[in-house]
Amino acid sequence: MAEPESDLVPGAAYRPPEEPLRVLHADRHVLVVVKPAGLLSVPGRGPHLADSLATRAAALFPGARIVHRLDRDTSGLLVLGLTVKAHRALSIQFQERRVGKAYAALVAGHPARDRGRVDLPLAYDEANKPRQRVDPAGRPALTEWQVIARLDGHARMRLVPVTGRSHQLRVHMLALGHPILGDPLYGDAPAPRLMLHAEELAFAHPAHGRAMRFRDPAPF
C-alpha cells in the first residue's frame, strides 16, 4: 500500500532519519513503536520512498502489519498487529472509534479560551495538492483541544482527534487561527520540525481484551 499523495510535499527530498526503531511493547499479537518525524508510515511509490515505519517494523518483527498512520512529519505512537487476527481486531477498534488518542502540539499564538472543539468537515483540496481544506460538503471532522501552557508567542496544546481525517489536526488548528509550528503546508511559523507528536494511545488488547495504555512524551 503506497503512502497517500496527501503526505508527500511536492519537491521535498525524502531523507528519513536513521535512528533505530524504538519499541515500547511487543508480544505475540501486538507491537507498539514510536515513529520518528520524517519517516513515512508506509512505503511511497518508487524505490526512493521505500523506507518506512512499516518496512522497518516488518524487518524486525516478521508479519507486522500497520493498523493506522501518522503523517510523515508527525512523530509518536503507532500500534501494529503481529498476526492477521490481531491486525483485524485492532483495525475494527479504530474504525469504531474505540481507541484513545491524544497529541501534543506547539501552535502559533494564544487561543482566547483554555479549551474547546473544532467541528469542521474536511475535503481534499484539488487545486492545492496535497492540502486538505474545510469544506461544508466534506467528511465530518471533530477535534477537541486544550491549552496546556501559554509560552512566549506560542502555546502547548493537547489535541484529541475524535475523527481521523487526513491532516485533521493541522487543518483544524489553522482554522482556529493557531497553526502548528513548523508545518510546511498549513503554517509559516518556523520550527526545526512539525511540532506535532502522538503522545497517548489506548486500546483493548486484541487477544485478551485487557486495556493497554501508552504514553510517549513529546520531544519538544
What are the residue ranges spanned by the domains of the chain?
5-99+204-215, 103-196
Q: Comparing 5-99+204-215 with 103-196, is the CATH topology the same? A: yes
- The active-site residue, picked from 7, 27, 51, 71, is 71
What residue type is 90 in one-letter code?
L
Q: CA gyration radius for the chain?
A: 17
Cis geometry, peptide bond prior to residue 16 (ω within 30 degrees of 0) = no
Residues in the chain: 220
The DSSP 8-state label assigned to residue 5 in this structure reads G
- Which pLDDT tens digits describe the chain residue by residue (220 residues)? 344 444 666 667 899 999 999 999 999 999 999 999 999 999 998 999 999 999 999 999 999 999 999 999 999 999 999 999 999 999 999 999 999 999 999 999 999 999 999 999 999 999 998 899 999 999 999 999 999 999 999 999 999 999 999 999 999 999 999 999 999 999 888 999 999 999 999 999 999 999 999 999 999 9
Q: Judge whether 86 and 30 are in contact, CB under 8 Å.
A: yes
The CATH superfamily holding the domain 103-196 is: Pseudouridine synthase (3.30.2350.10)
Is 0.85 surpassed by the pTM of this model? Answer: yes
- CATH code linked to domain 5-99+204-215: 3.30.2350.10
Is residue 7 among the annotated active site residues? no
